[in-house]
Amino acid sequence: MRRSMLLSYMVFIMLFSLSLFAQQAQLLKIVAPSPTQISQENIVSFVIEADKSTVDLITITTDANATFNIQVNPNKTHYCKTINLHLGENIIDVAGYKSNTLVSEQKRKVFLESKVHKEYRYPPQQYKREYFHNETNEKVCASCHDMSVNEVKGVAFKDVTKSNCYQCHNQVASKKHAHAPSVNWLCTSCHNGKVGTFNEADRNKSKYTVPDPIGPLCFSCHEKNEEKWGDKRFTHEPTEAGRCNKCHNSHSEENEFYLRKDSWNLCTGCHKDKIEGMHIVKTFGRKAHPTHNVKDPSRPGKDLSCISCHNPHASNASFLLQSESVMGICSRCHKK
């Protein structure tokens, strides 16, 4: 008898919490992003569906304590907000209030991955890469946003705000150094919906996939570089593999040449053992040679870095040296 009472009590609690859950989901529906999303750019877009009769204020709070308040409007159904991410796991809280009382609270986790930060290269297992641009998802936005492609191949927008992609991705090309096709909003010159040997599994998952490796696509505009590097005896492994985007952001970046890190940190991220410059001494000297924090006599105004001596792409000299032969490298900076 007691046991069955306990059981029915438990069933009641379960049903009650289920109904609460269903009610919450109705009050505020997070259309995007998915619950555990992987991102490759430092931004993610929130789209929240809410109804004025049940919620009058939405707040979005990041784990870096940035808060955005959105007033719910009787004539609107969807609320959109782009949020900045930090590397790794971001936990973002979405709350709904009615007359100052909390009526709904949900979380979204977004993992900003990075190809050049070891600790953020592989997202924890719970994270998934969900693609957005398919017919089903786009239908929800189409009542307010023009979802078509309106770029003319090779013709830059005079007013970039007129690009249909700009409505939702306006921050993608806004960092200090920006790549020409991205600032001109010729997005589909790369996002052509094709896939390559490394992302074959993503075929048809999004209208705007990019082929991986992307090298051949880069060379379709940078023909001179292909000629120049193709002629060399040695090519740097990631360049040879066409993984240009390991080092270069295709959109924009704080560093020149849209590098994901400044060149010294970029190189040492994959070649940690070369930081001390002991490898240079091996053949030529007795003491460690500096690799940074001194001026580079061969590049006025710049600091010594790995690229003072090595070409990041290709070279005729072994070890990708910036000279025609290994012996020639020292005389670039040290006159006899």
CB-wise, 206 or 316, nearer to ligand HEC? 206
Kind of pairing, strands 101-112 and 36-39?
parallel
Sign of CA dihedral 110, 114, 120, 123: positive
210 binds ligand HEC (CB under 6 A): yes
Q: Which is nearer to ligand HEC, 194 or 289 (CB)?
A: 289
Question: Which of 104/313 has CB closer to ligand HEC?
Answer: 313
Buried b (16+ CB within 10 A) or exposed e, 21-41: eeeeeebbbbbbbbebbbbee
Residue 161 found at the interface with ligand HEC (CB under 6 A): no
Q: Which two tokens stand for residue 262?
A: 């400044």
CB of 52 to ligand HEC, least distance (A): 13
Helix, coil or strand: residue 76: coil
Stretch that binds ligand HEC, among 11-19, 51-59, 117-125, 293-301 (CB under 6 A): 293-301
Collect all residues with Cβ–Cβ distance below 8 Å to 215 and sequence separation of at least 6. 239, 241, 242, 243, 244
Residue 194 touches ligand HEC, criterion: CB under 6 A: no
Q: Which residue in the set 39, 59, 192, 199 belongs to the binding site for ligand HEC (CB under 6 A)? A: 39
Q: Tell me which of 157, 265, 275, 303 binds ligand HEC, using CB under 6 A.
A: 275
Task: Tell me if 173 contacts ligand HEC by CB under 6 A.
Answer: yes
Is the distance from CB of 63 to CB of 104 less than 8 angstroms?
A: no
Does the footprint of ligand HEC cover residue 78 (CB under 6 A)?
Answer: yes
Number of residues that bind ligand HEC (CB under 6 A): 112
Half-sphere exposure of 61 (CA within 13 A, CB side): 8
- 252 binds ligand HEC per the rule CB under 6 A: no
Cα distance between residue 200 and residue 292, in whole Å: 40
* Shortest separation between residue 231's beta carbon and ligand HEC, angstroms: 14
- Least separation in angstroms between residue 124's CB and ligand HEC is 17
Task: Report d(CA 84, CA 333) in Å as an integer.
Answer: 43
**Encoded amino acid at 291, one letter:** T
Task: Determine which residue in the list 48, 72, 147, 195 makes contact with ligand HEC, applying CB under 6 A.
Answer: 147
Give the H or E element holding residue 45.
Answer: strand 43-50
Between CA 242 and CA 237 the distance in angstroms is: 9
Instruction: Choose which of 30, 44, 58, 95 interacts with ligand HEC (CB under 6 A).
Output: 44
Measured from the CB atom, the residue of 143 and 197 that comes closer to ligand HEC is 143
CA R_g for the chain: 26
Among 28, 50, 141, 317, binds ligand HEC (CB under 6 A): 141
Q: Which of 30, 267, 314, 317 binds ligand HEC (CB under 6 A)?
A: 267
Bridge partner list, 38: 111
Give the one residue of 27, 50, 60, 280 binding ligand HEC; rule: CB under 6 A: 280
